[in-house]
Amino acid sequence: MSETSPADSAVIARSRQEPEVFGEIFRRHAAEIKRFVIRRLGLDVAEDVVAETFLAAFHQRGRYDLARHNALPWLYGIATNLIGRHKRTEARQLNLLVRTGVDPVTEPFTPRSDERLSAQAVQQRLAAALVALPAGHRDVLLLVTWGGLSYAEAAEALGIRVGTVRSRINRARTKIREELGGTDPTALVIEEVRHG
């Protein structure tokens, strides 16, 4: 959104009378939501979940809180709820990553294959630790790390308090650190993002 573009809330308000205007929300945020969904569920179902996310948002636009200028946390919340319906698929993706070291989000070839092999080993360990987390902790952690949301935005997306986000992040990091034998999970996420 540029400085001259209206806030998401203004677009949503206008779309209540002119439904076709809601397409602007899709144009602004679909790519970011899609990246998040791909990371959570894999490429196979991402298009469907993204489409379901924006369809649900379109149908719920009448209830959108216009005081919230940025619709992205709201869209992440809808996407996270839909991802919840695909938990078995997510668990299969993470278990596949644990077994094979192949992340469906990363490209199949990179010129730096030695670095890529190292990154895949890190991804396997991280995926195994993520599988072991309770769903609520995993959702918060992935919204913040993979989705790039602030704690306040993650709280808004999930309909929980910021304090709950903080405690879940802390517990998730502690649990992952234990699963990884004391390795800092933040370093693994940074390493995974750098190579992934």
pLDDT digit of tens for each residue in the chain (196 aa)?
556 789 999 999 999 999 999 999 999 999 999 999 999 888 888 999 999 999 999 999 999 999 999 999 999 999 999 998 886 665 677 777 777 766 655 545 455 554 554 556 667 777 888 888 898 999 999 999 888 999 999 999 999 999 999 999 999 999 888 887 776 655 555 444 443 4
State residue 105's pLDDT score: 55
State residue 191's pLDDT score: 43
DSSP code per residue over the chain: --TTSPPHHHHHHHHTT-GGGGHHHHHHHHHHHHHHHHHHH-HHHHHHHHHHHHHHHHHHGGG--TT----HHHHHHHHHHHHHHTHHHHHHHHHHHHHH---TTS-S--S-HHHHHHHHHHHHHHHHHHHHS-HHHHHHHHHHHTS---HHHHHHHHT--HHHHHHHHHHHHHHHHHHTTT--HHHHHHHHHHH-
State residue 89's pLDDT score: 62
State residue 160's pLDDT score: 95
- The count of structural domains within the chain is 1
Tell me if 117 is assigned to some domain.
Answer: yes
State residue 154's pLDDT score: 94
Tell me if 161 is assigned to some domain.
Answer: yes
**Domain CATH code at residue 134:** 1.10.10.10
Tell me if 1 is assigned to some domain.
Answer: no
Tell me if 194 is assigned to some domain.
Answer: no
Which domain covers residue 50, as residue numbers? 11-104+112-188
Tell me if 180 is assigned to some domain.
Answer: yes
Q: What is the pTM of this model?
A: 0.63
Tell me if 167 is assigned to some domain.
Answer: yes
Tell me if 127 is assigned to some domain.
Answer: yes
State residue 38's pLDDT score: 92
